[in-house]
């Protein structure tokens, strides 16, 4: 053991302490994954060295044979994992092994409940990597040296997985990292060659470099100890380069867990090799659940990029649009240069062609999932639906395709959990219906019970109910689907087209003419509060509603703009009344202008509340209502 200098004890970041405690207890039922996680990290370290050595071959230090070795000591109860990858400096060890640098970590921790089953799912979303060692070990030693640094600049990191860790500078002749796990007393089953071999074959067969285990051979004559030979126990070839017919589902699933650092199987995957003008292979996965930082648009995302099977970069963002940021996978190109950078990727026409093709491939995969596995697609939509709704604005070329993948609650369902696709909606449409009707609002209960739906219920016409904050913004980019235009039932002057009979239209015109006097009185009473007053064709039960002008912002968009500190353009609602309602009949017969004004404002405020809006002057509403109640009780 080399002499240790500059030894110091440092505390773990608070989030690391929490994660260690929860992980050790929550993931205990699947403890063998510690080896998969450590091998995955070692593979990444070798990939990084291979890439950096393209421009700095001296980093290989004369040892170009890259590999991972796993060994064990039954007597000492240790498992050792060693790689000759990029390695770590002292600063790297403190940063990477003592803190979690992911954005949103603290917010993620708030969602942990203490319920082991629920938390194990959340921890799987987060990706635990190195810290999984503490599931089976009560002490972990890490010896490392960064490639290219002096032998005297090695680092020894050590911790018992509690509140702190020790770090010291050591002499280390070889580059790379050696991790020694001191197994807990109940975990000595892992200090066994057969057990380790099976775990490697099960989880890490796809790793594209040799994973070696010691193979004992008989001692040569005169030797006290048998010589140790190493044998490769994995297939050691890049999974995406193999023929699809040669790969089992389990191998695809384990490879996904390796690249995504996920604990659950993916929902779907697509493995493809393109030949011709462009040559590349891709292996794309749809996760079964959302990562914790899905809605942080600046969070790391993208595919692993290889060029002719040489790793180039993690999170290459240029190959898929932002609304598909949840897709995981690998793309391996024969046409790009090995020294390609993120800046070059953004400008390369080859990338534009690949991005277009890979985007279509993902959308095809989702279409297939929606068609063949509707229940699974329902789960996908719950996890990723809001992100998919960013698509029509971002990807005009695939707008119709994306629209076909969108799902919405509707008046056809009993609760907000039942969702419908646009093709299914049109298949149920009434004869003569040439529009897709929708209504936006804050909550499902609010839109489900909105007065705007009354005429649609009466005529049995299905309406989509949109309650995500992004929905009104989404609909500003969706003008039609399958030749049918979208209509917001709360906007403008509702025209049901062929769904209204000639008799209905004629009767509506006659009523509007008969109520012209009432319209004028209401305009005078409501004054600057409204843009217009008119007889409603939407209402069957309620006395009045507020409609939005064709060009005006709806409530959702106004709230989004206000929340982001932007100036909201002034607009006034359209007041529509139901001439057949008893309250409107009483209002029409009211002789007192003062009482008429009070009643008109009460109806206006009630209509605003029914639309989910807040009152501009709640005190005035209460005063008028109390005045009316006193008069009624007198």
Above 60 in pLDDT, residue 365? yes
Cα distance between residue 91 and residue 246, in whole Å: 43
Output 520 or 27, whichever has higher pLDDT. 520
- Please choose, from the candidates 141, 40, 21, the residue with its C-alpha nearest in 3D space to the C-alpha of residue 83: 40
309: confidence class by pLDDT, cuts 50, 70, 90: confident
Share of the chain above pLDDT 70, in %: 89
| 336-358 average pLDDT score | 81
Spatial separation of the C-alpha atoms in residues 407 and 401, rounded to whole Å: 13
pLDDT exceeds 70 at position 69: yes
Reported as a single tens digit per residue, the pLDDT across 183-207 is 999 999 999 999 999 999 888 888 8
**Interacting residues of 410 by C-beta distance below 8 A, sequence separation 6+:** 418, 419, 420, 425, 462, 463, 464, 465
C-alpha–C-alpha distance, residues 213 and 235, integer Å: 13
Q: How far is CA 226 from CA 112, 191, 309, in A?
A: 50, 19, 37
pLDDT of 359 above 60: yes
Residues 6+ apart with CB under 8 A from 83: 42, 43, 45, 46, 67, 68, 69, 176, 177
Rounded mean pLDDT of the chain? 86
Q: Look at residue 113 in the predicted model and tell me its pLDDT.
A: 57
Give 226's Cβ-side CA count (13 Å radius): 8
Strands 228-232 and 137-145: unpaired
Q: pLDDT grade, residue 312 (50/70/90)? A: confident
Instruction: Find the Cα–Cα–Cα–Cα dihedral 16, 20, 21, 24, rounded to 10°.
Output: 170
> Could you tell me the CA-to-CA distances from 457 to 168, 422, 447, 454, 462 in Å, in that order?
74, 19, 13, 5, 8
So what's the pLDDT on residue 405? 96
The answer to whether 565 and 524 are in contact (CB under 8 A) is no
Q: What are the structural domains of the chain?
A: 5-235 (3.30.565.10), 240-378 (3.30.230.80), 406-499 (3.40.50.11260), 503-633 (1.20.120.790)
pLDDT over 70 (residue 118): no
- DSSP state letter for 91: H
Determine the pLDDT at residue 27: 59
Per residue in 265-284, pLDDT tens? 999 999 999 988 889 999 99
d(CA 404, CA 421): 7
How are beta strands 464-466 and 435-440 bridged, if at all? parallel
Read off the pLDDT band of 353 (50, 70, 90).
very high
Across residues 551-566, what is the average pLDDT? Answer: 71
Alpha carbon distances (Å) from 463 to 424, 428, 433, 440, 575: 12, 11, 12, 10, 22
Pick the closest to residue 357 from 384, 328, 397 (CA basis): 397
């Amino acid at each position: 053991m080399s002499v240790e200098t500059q030894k110091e004890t440092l505390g773990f970041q608070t989030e690391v302490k929490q994660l260690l405690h929860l992980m050790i207890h929550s993931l205990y039922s699947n403890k063998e994954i510690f080896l998969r996680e450590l091998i995955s990290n070692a593979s990444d370290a070798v990939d990084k060295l291979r890439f950096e050595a393209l421009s700095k071959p001296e980093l290989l230090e004369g040892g170009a044979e890259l590999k991972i070795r796993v060994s064990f000591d039954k007597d000492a109860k240790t498992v050792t994992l060693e790689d000759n990858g990029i390695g770590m400096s002292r600063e790297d060890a403190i940063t990477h092994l003592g803190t979690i640098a992911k954005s949103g970590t603290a917010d993620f921790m708030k969602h942990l409940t203490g319920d082991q089953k629920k938390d194990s799912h959340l921890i799987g979303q987060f990706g635990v990597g190195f810290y999984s060692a503490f599931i089976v070990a009560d002490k972990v030693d890490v010896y490392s040296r960064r490639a290219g640094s002096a032998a005297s600049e090695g680092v020894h990191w050590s911790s018992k997985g509690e509140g702190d860790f020790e770090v010291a500078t050591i002499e280390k002749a070889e580059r790379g990292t050696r991790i020694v796990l001191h197994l807990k007393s109940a975990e000595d089953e892992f200090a066994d060659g057969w057990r380790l071999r099976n775990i490697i074959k099960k989880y890490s067969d796809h790793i594209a470099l040799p994973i070696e285990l010691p193979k004992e051979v008989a001692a040569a004559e005169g030797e006290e100890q048998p010589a140790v030979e190493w044998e490769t126990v994995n297939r050691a070839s890049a999974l995406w380069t193999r023929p699809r017919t040669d790969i089992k589902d389990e191998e695809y699933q384990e490879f996904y867990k390796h690249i995504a650092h996920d604990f659950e199987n993916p929902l779907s995957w697509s493995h493809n090799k393109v030949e011709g003008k462009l040559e590349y292979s891709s292996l794309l996965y749809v996760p079964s659940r959302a990562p914790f930082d899905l809605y942080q648009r600046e969070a790391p995302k993208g595919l692993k990029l290889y060029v002719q099977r040489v790793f180039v970069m993690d999170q290459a963002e240029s190959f898929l649009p932002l609304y598909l940021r949840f897709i995981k996978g690998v793309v391996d190109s024969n046409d790009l240069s090995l020294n390609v950078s993120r800046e070059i990727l953004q400008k390369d026409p080859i990338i534009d062609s690949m991005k277009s093709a890979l985007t279509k491939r993902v959308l095809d995969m989702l279409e297939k999932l929606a068609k063949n596995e509707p229940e699974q697609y329902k789960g996908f939509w719950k996890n990723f639906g809001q992100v998919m709704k960013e698509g029509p604005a971002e990807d005009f070329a695939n707008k119709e395709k994306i629209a076909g993948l969108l799902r919405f609650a509707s008046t056809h369902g009993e609760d907000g959990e039942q969702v419908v696709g646009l093709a299914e909606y049109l298949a149920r449409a009434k004869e003569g219906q040439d529009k897709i009707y929708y209504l936006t609002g804050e909550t499902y209960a609010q839109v489900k019970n909105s007065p705007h739906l009354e005429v649609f219920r009466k005529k049995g016409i299905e309406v989509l109910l949109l309650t995500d904050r992004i929905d009104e913004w989404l609909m500003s980019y969706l003008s039609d689907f399958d030749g049918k235009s979208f209509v917001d039932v709360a906007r403008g002057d509702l025209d049901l087209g062929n769904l209204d009979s000639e008799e209905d239209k004629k009767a509506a015109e006659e009523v509007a003419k008969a109520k012209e006097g009432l319209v004028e009185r209401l305009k005078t009473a409501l004054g600057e509060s409204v843009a217009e007053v008119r007889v409603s064709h939407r209402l069957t039960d309620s006395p009045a509603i507020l409609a939005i002008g064709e060009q005006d912002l709806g409530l959702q968009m106004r709230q989004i703009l206000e929340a982001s500190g932007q100036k909201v353009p002034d607009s006034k609602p359209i007041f529509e009344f139901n001439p057949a309602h008893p309250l409107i009949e009483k209002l029409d017969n009211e002789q007192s202008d003062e009482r008429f004004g009070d009643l008109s404002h009460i109806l206006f405020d009630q209509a605003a509340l029914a639309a989910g809006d807040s009152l501009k002057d709640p005190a005035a509403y209460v005063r008028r209502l109390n005045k009316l109640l006193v008069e009624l009780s007198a």
